[in-house]
Structure 1
Amino acid sequence: MASIKYFCLKHRKPIVLTALLASTTAILWPSGDSNSYREVKLPLTTQATIEESVAEPVETVQDKQIEQIDYTIEANDTLGSIFAKLQLPQATMYKLLDADVEFVQLDNLKPGQQLLFVREGENQLVTRMQVVIDSIHTLEFNRDGDEYTGEMLSHVTNVVERQVDGVINNSLYQSASRAGLSPAEIETISRLFEDKINFARDLRAGDTFQMLFDDIYVGDTHTGRSTLKAVVFVNRGKQLAAFLHDDGQYYDETGQSLNRAFLSRPIPHKFRISSHFNPRRLHPITKRISPHNGTDFATPTGTRAKAISDGVVTRIGNHHAAGIHMTIQHNETYSTRYLHLSKVLVKKGQKVGIGDVVALTGNTGRSTGSHLHFELHVNNKPVNFMTYSLPKGKQLDPSQMVAFQKLVNQYLAKLESDDDSQLVAKSQGTPDQA
């Protein structure tokens, strides 16, 4: 005979569900104000109804009621519809959106993502919320007084080196796909050599490619993330190569950058900076200490904002606090965010070039006036755009060439090796918090 204990919100006492027979279910229900229970037997067909009508299993710790709600996002779900479905307060949702302005994730939820809510106390306040962003990152919000604070948590990862060799038989895409490359990896290679080779016209059957990747794993599970470290392409007997340097840029064997330079600003220099990068800023509206992870440029609504380098638009959204916003991924290392826009002029997935006009500035979301909030992220972490030293897209200095040439020789030695044991796992601990 098995039993499951639930907590009855109405009687403030536990309920014991006990399976007595295969065809019946018995409930031991609180009797009056005493600690005794009376047994009520019901048909088995009523069991599902009972389980749905009784509150979620909770843990009582020093009379503190705790409830956990797990939810999988479905097609057409929005944060508002999820809160309504789970009967969670709309006021709580807006406070979470306020805390999310640093991450701008809650307006971009996708089917299949997992959410977790923890409610506590007699008033069932949401004290914690988690959003599983991907296989590495989980965004967590914790109640702090009447507000919420957020932080991005990261699983410990390890890196497995992978080599891919292939021969061109038809198109680059088909040949690289057959060799095991993902569409994103093929796109990276195409961008690196787009100024040196026309992949639609110049390829010949028999051309070869060799590539070296670092694949990111959590335990034994591939996260779907990889970093291209080296690629050697032989086209009509001519060798083209790209090697990832420690500054996040790709260079050929001579140290010449394959990445174009970055602009010094996304908007004209005549517009003043109204708010600087400040991780300890006092928010002008909420009056709370809240990180300001970008640089604000005071502009009239409709001012044209440019891409500061080549890249791909990876996100477009409309956030309660961030307003209309957009993210451009420039390479594996660098990405930029544009917030409080009046209009986005590009589409998600679109390739953009350095200097392309991508949006118009505005005053959407939580904003005290028309401006562009612009962020630079390096390895997914915000940095001060106005002081960070971005790569110039030129030749490496002679002082850098010794270390770079040593790195190139290491890559080439691995690519030229015929040893099948090249897949070597290397431990790489990442902090629990990003």
Structure 2
Amino acid sequence: MFKKLKIKELKYLTFVFALLIIGCNSDKKNPVKRSVEDIKAEPIVKNYDFVYNDFKVIEDTIHSGDTFGTLLQDYFLPDSMNVHQLTEKVKDSFNLRGIKAGKPFIVFLDKKNPKNLKAFVYVKDKINYTVIDLRDSVVVQNKQKPTSIRKRTIAAEIEGSLSETLDKAGASASLAPKLAGVYAYSIDFFKIQKGDKFAVTLYEKFIEDSIYVGIEKVESTYFQHKGKDYFAFPYKKEKDKGESYYDENGKALKSMFLKAPLDFFRISSRFSARRFHPVQGRWKAHNGTDYAAPHGTPIKTTAAGVVERTGYTAGNGNYVKVRHNSTYSTQYLHMSKILVKKGQYVSQGQTIGKVGSTGLATGPHVCYRFWKNGVQVDPFRQNLPNAEPMEEGERKKYLEYIKPYKKELDSILKVKFNQ
């Protein structure tokens, strides 16, 4: 092939090859220098008040059987300290028995000597954590991540289920059970239908303004079900320990009495004028309702009131009697443990004792007795009232208190639903 090339062409190719060789050698002698900007800096990672870049960091999870001692047994502690000595130093500030399987922990080690422990962090939840800092001296700090609270109002028309509608509105799924709890005595949430409407003003908590934690508080709510309007505002009456929900007129949304003194139960014997007593072996009236449940199950007072009597009798075993007002009283029998005292005020749903089988009982249960005007009656056959109405003075305070919240909801309903 080269024989066919002309002399000029051969000279030209020789010149090009020479330039390429010179260029390559030139690059080796004078390499291109990279600027500082071309070198990507290692990103700074900071969490739990530690700069991760300064340590060798091990992140792990507590496993069943782990203890504070076993978690640290492979590391060197400062000042020739052993794990037992460290445990003694931190036990007053750090609940060592509170370490739970499934919770995260972080170990910070010396970068040059990665067996040397510098700090230990136990993460209790999204917000709370404990730091055991060993860098200078042993310092234990129970800390919280910085949080912020944001207020917002969600308004929507039911399209499918409440949960689906909330999801489309960008709300947390945890809002559904909260709303169901607010309206538990007013609306059957299994029967809500397309076209029902709601609005809720709530406060939500975030970690460092970005990580969603949950609902802090529901400020006010509105629900329209089958064309009927239901407003709800949380309010704490002067004598109450906690808040309850009331409508726009100050009427309580919940009933005065819970349906049962237990959360999970089986009715083993109903109120009856004639029942065969399993212990006494004879027919007699049974002026109560028996709820069978495992030993130690919490017993709740079905309505707010004052503990009228506590004690023990051969038939009733350990018992508590609560006076709710001049008309109604309730009594709870066969307790394994009494948790209240005579004269104590109790709120609705407060735990007053534990299920047992004291007195005349063949097994663990609570016998629930109900008085109306001094006579024992069957609560299932009574038209029981809503919660005690507000006194007129407190009602005026309440109506003044909810004015801005009601005005805010009305404004949102007007914009969203033109009503």
Question: Normalised by the shorter chain, which TM-score bucket?
Answer: 0.3 to 0.5
More helix by share: 2
Q: Relative contact order, CA 8 A, sep 6+: which one is greater?
A: 1
Normalised TM-score (structure 2): 0.44
Normalised TM-score (structure 1): 0.43
Task: Tell me which structure has the larger Cα radius of gyration.
Answer: 2
More strand by share: 1
